[in-house]
Amino acid sequence: MSLRQPIRRDVAAEITDLIIRKIEEGVPPWSRPWRSSGAGGRPLRHCGTPYQGINVLYLWALGDALGYRSHYWMTYRQAESLGGHVRKGESGAVSVYYSSFKKREENPETGKEVERSIRFLRHYIVFNADQVDGLPAYFYPSTEPEQPLIPSERQAAIDAFFASIPADVRHGGNQAYFTPTFDHIQLPNRTSFRSMDLYASTRCHETVHWSGHASRLARTFGKRFGDKAYAFEELVAEIGAGLCCADLGLPNVLHDSHASYVGHWLGILRGDKTAIIHAAAKAEQAFAYLKSFGAADDKDSADDDDTPVPLPALAA
């Protein structure tokens, strides 16, 4: 009698299907969950470490779809180690990562044996803290209504973030875009925006585009996605802007000028179940690149002088 083989999950397809559903509902996971749920920012592991890459989008989307308010996720054993227990009947979510193995094979042209590294997607199961009873209180968001952030309290962080990035930003006209030919960001005047928060979120989007210039991260997708290359770059910029906005506590709305790409995104995601994983990884890389400018400035300030220095004004 042969043993029944376990059913293999197509994790990439599961993730892609959920992202497609949220886009079709008009709530891309990089735009809404940290504003509509009781806890802001990125999804966190049980130890407080933020998730990265596609796990951010997937857990945001899943938490939003199922109404979870906590942003902590953990395995069954991790919940037990913290004194909690997953409620009976609860279903877990997948958390993915890449693993690899070495394979030796013969080069058909030279006949020599070569070693090749093969990457593959693996996953494990995690539960939201809302599915777990008995955890320490800090895993659960407060039931008290959150006080709205006052823009001026957020402005210092926004100013510091943009001031450290050496992008050429120009103001005027009625369009927002990045031109790789002349390597500058063009934005309408600040007074054209309904709020400084919306100005900052738009600038986040265009600054992610700036990061992909040939002289910086050199993002090109033409060979893989053909004539949909620019639509894919827009997807990376939207996700990257979502990460920036979440870090700064800003709203991130899908601007009219970017909404026209939604149909292209759905086509890309339906045609390639790994596309969203690739886009999330590129967006994460762009976000880390932009954040690195601020980290470098902090280190220079610490090396030069211990005297507090006022934060610079928003770069013109």
CA angle 185, 150, 200 (to 5 degrees): 10
Stronger pLDDT, 260 or 113, i.e. the higher one: 113
Distance CA 103, CA 312 (A): 53
Residue 17 pLDDT > 80? yes
What's the whole-model pTM score? 0.77
Backbone φ/ψ region at 281: left (φ over 0), alpha (ψ -120 to 50), beta: alpha
Domain ranges of the chain: 1-147, 151-302
* Token code pair at residue 27: 């709530």
Neighbours of 43 (CB within 10 A): 27
Q: What is the pLDDT of residue 222?
A: 52
**Mean pLDDT score, 292-303:** 71
The DSSP line for 234-270 is HHHHHHHHHHHHHHHT------HHHHTTHHHHHHHHH
Instruction: List, for residues 251-287, the tens digit of each pLDDT value.
Output: 777 666 666 678 888 988 999 999 999 999 999 999 9
Residue percentage of the chain with pLDDT more than 90:
47
Instruction: Report CA 143 to chain centroid distance, whole Å.
Output: 27
Beta strands in the chain (DSSP E): 44-45, 72-74, 85-86, 93-106, 113-128, 132-133, 169-171, 177-179, 184-187
Burial 163-181 (b: 16+ CB within 10 A, else e): bbbebebeeeeeebebeee
Task: Find tokens 């069954």 and name the residue.
Answer: 76
> Is residue 160 over pLDDT 50?
yes
